[in-house]
Structure 1
C-alpha cells in the first residue's frame, strides 16, 4: 500500500465530520464574497482578524478576497500570520501555497507542499474535519495521485456523511472536469444546485461541463453565474474565451478588461490577450502580454498551456505545440500540457510521437477520460490498412479498403492536382486521411470524446478524419464530395499556415465542391432564401461565430452556404487572384480585416456589398413564386386549404403544405398538380423528401414512367446523395436494356454507398453487356468480399471477364476456384476447356 493510500485510510477511519457553527456576520461576509463584493469582504474580514477573533474562517475569507483581487503580497502576509494560530488547518495551507506561487516563491511553495504531506504523516487523525478532507483531496489531485481513489476516499465519503456540504460537490465536479468526465461533472453539479443555488461557482462549472456538447445550456449557466456574481472571474474569462472562439475580439477584450479591473494581475486574462495578439500577427505584443501573465508567478505552466490550447483550437497546432513544450519546461508533470501536446502532434501528422505521449499520459493519469478514449481507439485502428499514392496516405478499415480504397486514392489524387494548382500551393509534408467505419471512433479521434453528430469530416491541416458510409445509416452522404471538401481545407490551410477564419475556410471548401460538381455542396433553398431576406443574414465580419453556437442545425448549414456565397461574390467581383492574395496575406500574419482591406476592400464595405449580392441571389430563386406566409390559414382543413391555394396558385408554402397532406392521404392525383406547379415555379432543391422526390414517387405510383425518369434525372442534377432515385433509375434502365445508363448510375451509387452489393451487382451486369471486362472484374472482386451466396458464380464471371481481357492465367485461376466450390458447374467446365484450348 502506498504512503498516500495508507494516510487516506488512517484519516478516514477516524473521520469527524461535524459541521461547525457559523456566526451570522461570517455568513453575511461569505455571501458577499459569493456576490463578488471582494473589497467589502476584505475590509470586514481584516477588521475581524485584527480584533483577534478566534475563527479560522475569517483569515481564510480574507486571504481569498485578496487573492481574488490580485493582492498577492497581502494575502501571503495574512497567511503567515494565520497559520501560526491554526497550524492544523489544511485549507489555509492550500491557500498559502497559492499565495506563495503568485508571489513568485515557487521553491517555498514546494517546501510547503512537502510540509503539508509531512503533517499528514505525523498525525493524520488531526486533519479529519470535512474542510481538511476536501483540502487534502485537492492536494493529492495536485500531486497527481489516483483520481478515482481521491473521489472514493475523500469527496464521496464527505458527501455521504454531509450530504449538504457544497464544497464536496464542487471538488468532485472540478476533478471530473479536469479528467474529461463531463457526465459525472454535470450530475454532481445538478445535485449541488439543489443544495444551494446561490453559488456562482456551481453555475460556472456547469457551463464547463456542457461547453463542448450543448452551447445553449453552457450559455445559460454562464448567465446564471454572473447573475449570482457579476464579478465572477472564471465566468468572465470563459465568456472571453467563447468570444475569441467566435472571432468576436472586441467582445473578448471587453470581458478581459472587466476581469483586469477586478484583478490587474489575473494571469489567464493576460494569456488570452497574448492569444489575440498572436492571432492579430503582433508578435511583440504577444510576448508583452505573456510576460505580464507570468509577472507574479514566472514558472506558472498554465499560462503557456492556455495560450497553446487556444491557438490549437484555431488550428494553429504547430504554434500550440510550441507553447505546450514551454509549459512542460516549467513543469514536466503538467499532465494537461502533455496530453494537449500529444493531440497537437497527432493533428500535425506526427503519429509516432503523438501516440507515445498519449500512452505516457494514460499511464500517469488513468482517470483521464479523453486520453483513455484515445488509447482505446488506437488499439482498434492500429491494424487499419494504409494506402499510399505519392505523398497521400490513407488509413482505412481493411474491409473497406478492399472495396473502395483505390477509388479514394484516385479522388484524392485528382483533388491534389486540381486544387493545389488552382491555389498555387504545394504541401510541405505528407497528407494523412483517416476514414472510420464507426462514428464513435471518428468523434474520439477528432474531438477526444464520443459525439460530434452531424460532422462528416474534419481537416486539421495535413490530417483529415472522415466518417465512412458505414457510419451513416441507409442513406449516407456522398463520400467523394466530403473528401473533396476536406482536401480543399488541406490546400487553403497550407497556404495560410492555418491562419484563416473559419468562415473563409468553409466557404472556399463548399464553393470548390460546387465547382467540381454542381450537385455537391450547399445550394439555395426556400429556407435559405427566407433567411437571406430576413435578419438571419450574418455580416461577413461575424460569420465565424455562426459556426460556434448556431440556434439550430438549419442555421449551421446556412452558415456553410452563406460562407460559400461570400467566396463566390469575392471571386465574381474581384477574381480568384485577389482571393489568393488574401490567403497569402493571412499566411504572412495579417488579420482577416487587414488582408481583405489590402485586396478587396474593408470589412464594412464587404458587409454592405455582399448583403446586396446575397439578396439578389435569393430574389432570383423562383422569382415568380409567392413567398408570403402570413395569410396562409394555420388550422385549416384540407378542403379549406385547397380553396385558399386555388385563390393563391403560386404560393410556395401553401402548395407544399397541401401537397404533403394529399400525399399522406394517398391522394396522389390531387397532389400531382400541386407538385408540378412547384417544379414549374423553379422552387426545387436537393432536399431529401422534398417536392422533387415526392413528385417522382407520385409519378411512379401513377405509372407515368417517362415523367418520373425526367424528374429523377433532375434530382441527380441537384443532389449528390440521391440514392433512392439512383436505384429506381437503374431499375428503369435495366428494363429498357440501356446498359450504358445502368453503368453510369451504378458508378454514382458507389460514390454514395460502396459497402453494399447493389451497386457492384448492377455495375458488373452492365459491364458484361457493354463488353467492358475491366469494370466487370472490379465489381466482381468487390462482391467476393461481401460473403456472396453464390461465390462460384462470381468466380465464373471473373474467369470469363479475365479471359475477355486477355489474362488467361487469372481466368484459369478463377475458373478453378469456381469448380472448387461447385465441382459440377458445367459452364465453368466449358470455360476451362476453352481457356486451355486457347492456350
Structure 2
C-alpha cells in the first residue's frame, strides 16, 4: 500500500469545498452532517468554517473528511492511510479513501481499494457502488451487474438508482431512466436526502426527450444557487449525444455559476477543441490547470496545444456543381505537402457523394485534422492517450490518425476519412439527434458501398457473435457501443449496424435509409423511428433482419469450424511451402466465407499458392476477388499491379496503383512508378501530383522527382516551371543523363 500512498501525495491539488459529491452512506459521521448541509445548499463559507472546526475531532475518519472538505488532501490521505493500517478490517474508511482517489484521478488505485473493502466485507453495498461508478464512468459492462447486485441487498440505495438512471440516459433508454428516477425520488423523500442529483437527472431526461428542463433547473438553483455540477452533468449527456454546441452553452453556464468547478473548465476546454475553437479552449484548460494541475486530461490537452504550431492549416474551396464548400485541412508540417492533395481529393469526393445520397448540403466549413502521433489524436478527441479509435467526428470537425501513425498494413486511412465524413452528414442532417448505432451503421455501410475499398467486409468476430446469438435488438443497439458486455462487442456492434443498413437497402431500398435517418429529430426513439418508417414493430424488424443475415452468411454459419480448419490447413501448407497442398483448403475457405479480407485472408493464401505453382492467371483472379470483397493490403495490391502489367492490362494496373495512395501514401516507390505511368497515359496533372508527392517525401535522390515534374509541366504547357525543375534535377545530380537530354532538347527548341 505504500506505493499507492506515495503516488497520491504527488498528485495533490487545491480542492475546494463542494468538490466532493453527495455522500449517501448512512455510516457517515453525524458530526459532518451540519457541514454537509451547508455545502449541499451552496453556503460555501459556512461549510468551510464548519468543517475547519472538525479538523481536531477525536475521531480520525471525521478529521479525514474535514481535511478533504477544506482542501487539505495530503492530510486527508494520511489519516485515511493510518486508519486503514491500524485496522485491516476497516471498510468504510477504505471506501471513502477510494473516493478520494477518484477525485485525484487515480482510478486504478480506487478500484483496488474498493476491492480491498469487498474482500473484508463482500456484501458492502457502498464499496460495490463505488466500484460500479468507476466502471460506469469508463463505460464498462461490469457496472450494471454490480448495481443490480447492490439493489438486491437493499432496494432503497439512492446511489444505485441514480447510477441506473444515468446509464439508461447514456444508452438512450429513456423510459427505464424515468422509472429509475421515480424510485430514486421516493428514497430521497423517505430518507430526507439532498435531491440535487435526482433533479439534475430529471432535467437531463427532459432534455433527452426534447422538452424544456427549466422547472428542474429552477428547483436545483433554488436549493443550491452555486450548483454548477448540474450544468456540467447536462452537458455530459449532450456530449454523449454528440451535441457539442449545446454542451458548450451548458458548460459556460456551469463555470459562471461555480467558477471554481475545475472539471467543468476542463470539459469546456476539451469541448471547444472539438469545435475547433483553439484559443478559447486554451483559456479554460489553463483555468482548469490552475485549480487541478494534475488532471491528466487537462495536462495532456495543454501539451498538445503547445505543439499546435507544428501543424499547417490550408483553406480550400471545393466546387461541386453550382455550390462551393470550404474545407480546412490541419496537417502536420512534416507530411502536409505529401498528404494534402489526397486528403482534399477524398474529402471533396465524399462531399459530392453524401450530399447527393442524403440530400443535405454542408452549411459550415468542414475541418479535417490528421495526427501522425496516435497519442496526440487520442488527446485531441478524448484528452487521454492510448484509445483504440482511428477517427472521430465532431459535427463539422473530423480528427483522425494520419497514415504515418500506424503500420501501413493495419490502417486504411482513406476508408477512415470516408467513414468520418459520412458522420458529418448523418449528424448534421439530424441536428445531432441520430442515435449512435445508425450514424455508425451508415458510415460502415458507405465504406462498403461507396468508399475507397468497396465490398462488404465482415470480421470473424461478428460472425462468431451472430452464431452465438449475441446481436442486439435494434432498439438496444446503442448499448453495444456505449457499455459493452463482452470483449469485442463494440466492433461487433459496428458490423451489426452496417448490416442493418445493408438489410434496409435490400429490403426497402436505399431511399428508406434516408427516411429513417430523418425520423430522428429529438422526439423519437429508435423503436418509434423504425415503426414510423417501415410500418412494422421493432420485434418484427429484428426477426426479418435475423433471417437476412443468417441467409447471407449461411455457408460460414453452418460451417464455421470447417472454415477454421481449412484456414489452419492452408496456413500450415503455406508456412511449409507446400503450395499444392494449400490451394484446396484456401479455395474452400474463400467459398465458405468470402467476406473475410483480414491480414490472414484465405484470398491472399490462395493467390500466393497459385502464383508459386505458376498459375498466374488464376492468382490474378484470386486477388481481384479479394479486392472486390473489400481487401486492400498494399503489398498484395502492388503485387497484383505488377501481374496485371505483365498480363498486358496496363490501365487496370495504373488504376490499382492510384488506389494505393489511400492506404500507403508515404511510399516513394509507388509515387515514382505511378507518376511515370500517368505521364505515359497522358494524365499530366495526375502525374504532376505524384511527382510533387515524391519530392515532398524528401528522399535522398530528388533528381527523379524534379525530372518527373519537369516533364509533366512541359506537357501542361508550363515551360518556365518545367525548365526550373529540370535545372533543379541537374543541380541535384549533374550527370543525370535523362535530364541532360531533355535540357538539350529544350535549348534546341528555343533556338
TM-score by length of 1: 0.77
Displacement, 1:715?
Answer: 0.8
Structure 2 counterpart of 1:333, from 260, 284, 306: 260
Indicate the residue corresponding to 1:348 in structure 2: 275
Within-5 A mapping of 1:281-360: 281-283=210-212, 286-294=213-221, 296-360=223-287
User: CA 1:791–1:325 in 2, change beyond 3 Å: closer, same or farther?
Assistant: closer
Contact 1:495 1:584 in 2 (8 A): yes
The reply to whether residue 258 of structure 1 matches residue 191 of structure 2 is: no
Matched, 1:627 2:554: no
> Using the alignment, how far apart are the partners of 1:258 and 1:276 within structure 2?
15
Equivalence for 1:791: 702
- Secondary structure of the residue aligned to 2:714 is helix
**1:590-629 equivalent positions in 2, closer than 5 A:** 590-601=524-535, 605-621=537-553, 627-628=558-559
In 2, the alpha carbon distance for the partners of 1:186 and 1:352 equals: 36
Secondary structure at the residue paired with 2:85?
Answer: coil
C-alpha distance in 2, partners of 1:323/1:484?
31
Match of 2:350 in 1: 415
Q: Which position in structure 2 is the counterpart of 1:137?
A: 67
Q: CA separation of 1:825/1:275 partners in 2, compared to 1, >3 Å: closer, same or farther?
A: same
Residues 784-821 of structure 1 show CA distances to partners (whole Å, capped at 9, x for unaligned) of 23342322343333334433433222222223223323
TM-superposed deviation, 1:653: 4.7
Q: Please tell me whether the aligned partners of residues 65 and 76 of structure 2 are also in contact (alpha carbons under 8 angstroms).
A: no
Counting matched residue pairs gives 714
CA contact (8 A) 2:83 2:93 kept: no
Task: Provide the residue aligned with 1:562 in structure 2.
Answer: 496
Output the CA distance in 2 between the equivalents of 1:228 and 1:613: 39
For 1:221 and 1:280, the matched residues in 2 are separated by 28
The correspondence for 2:202, drawn from 244, 249, 273, is 273
What residue is the counterpart of 1:242 in the other structure? 167
Correspondent of 2:604 among 652, 676, 693? 693
* Cα gap change, 1:545 to 1:210, in 2 (>3 Å): closer
| Distance in 2 of aligned mates of 1:435 and 1:626 | 39
Question: Which of 803, 810, 818 is the equivalent residue of 2:729?
Answer: 818
Whether the 8 Å contact between 1:569 and 1:610 is mirrored in structure 2 is no
Q: CA deviation at 1:212?
A: 5.3
Q: 1:761 to 1:222 in 2, by over 3 A?
A: farther
Map Cα deviations across residues 405-429 of structure 1 (whole Å, 9 max, x no partner): 1211122122222212332323332
For the 8 Å contact 1:764–1:776, the answer to whether it is kept is yes
With over 3 angstroms needed to count, the CA separation of the structure-2 counterparts of 1:775 and 1:414, relative to structure 1, is: closer
Secondary structure of the 2:267 match is helix
In structure 2, the residue corresponding to 1:831 is in which secondary structure? helix
User: What's the CA shift for 1:498?
Assistant: 0.8
CA distance in 2, matches of 1:762, 1:827: 16
Which residue pairs with 2:12 in the alignment? none
1:728 Cα deviation after fit: 1.2
Give the match for residue 320 of structure 2. none
Structure 2 distance, partners of 1:506, 1:536, is: 18
CA–CA separation in structure 1 for the residues paired with 2:627 and 2:508: 32
What corresponds to 1:155 in structure 2?
77
Q: 1:667 to 1:197 in 2, by over 3 A?
A: same
CA separation in 2, counterparts of 1:702 and 1:439?
A: 41
TM-score, with length taken from structure 2: 0.85
- For 1:709, what is the secondary structure of its paired residue? helix
Question: Contact 2:24–2:158 (CA<8 Å) still a contact in 1?
Answer: no
Report the secondary structure of 1:475's partner residue. Answer: helix
1:480 aligns with 2:414: yes
Q: Deviations over 1:486-537 (max 9, x none)?
A: 1111111112111121111112222222331484475456664564465323
d(CA) in 1 for partners of 2:108, 2:593: 48
Report what 1:514 is aligned to.
448
1:152-551 to structure 2, matched below 5 A, reads 152-156=74-78, 159=81, 163-164=85-86, 170=95, 173-187=98-112, 189=114, 199-211=124-136, 213=138, 215-219=140-144, 222=147, 231-264=156-189, 266-283=195-212, 286-294=213-221, 296-390=223-317, 391-453=326-388, 455-517=389-451, 519-520=453-454, 522-524=456-458, 528=462, 531-532=465-466, 535-551=469-485
- CA change 1:163–1:534 in 2 (3 A) is closer
Q: d(CA) in 2 for partners of 1:229 and 1:380?
A: 51
Separation (CA, whole Å) in 2 of partners of 1:613 and 1:220: 29
Deviation at 1:699, TM superposition (A): 1.5
* Gap regions ≥5 residues in structure 2: 1-8, 10-22, 318-325
In the alignment, what sits opposite 1:760?
671
Contact 1:207–1:219 (CA under 8 A) maintained in structure 2: yes
Structure 1: distance between partners of 2:595 and 2:422:
28
Stretches of structure 1 lacking an aligned partner (at least 5 in a row): 1-8, 10-33, 42-59, 64-91, 142-149, 633-650
How far off is 1:350 after superposition? 3.1
Match of 1:719 in 2: 630
Moved over 6 A (4+): none
Give the deviation of 1:542 after TM superposition.
0.9
Partner of 1:97: 35
Q: What CA distance in whole angstroms lies between the structure 2 residues aligned with 1:832 and 1:776? A: 20
Structure 2 contact 270–301 (Cα < 8 Å) conserved:
no
Distance of 1:438 and 1:402 partners within structure 2:
17
Task: Output the CA distance in 1 between the equivalents of 2:220 and 2:109.
Answer: 32
Tell me the secondary structure at the aligned position of residue 744 of structure 1. Answer: helix
Deviations 1:327-356 (A, max 9, x none): 333222222222222233332333332232
CA distance in 2, matches of 1:201, 1:758: 62
Q: Which has the larger radius of gyration?
A: 1
Structure 2 contact 672–705 (Cα < 8 Å) conserved: no
CA distance in 2: counterparts of 1:98 and 1:233, whole angstroms: 17
1:682 deviation in Å?
6.5
> After the TM superposition, which of the residue ranges 780-789 and 514-523 deviates more from structure 2?
514-523
Structure 1 residues 191, 553: CA separation in 2 closer, same or farther (over 3 Å shift)? closer
Q: Secondary structure at the match of 1:263?
A: helix
User: What SS does the aligned partner of 2:314 have?
Assistant: strand
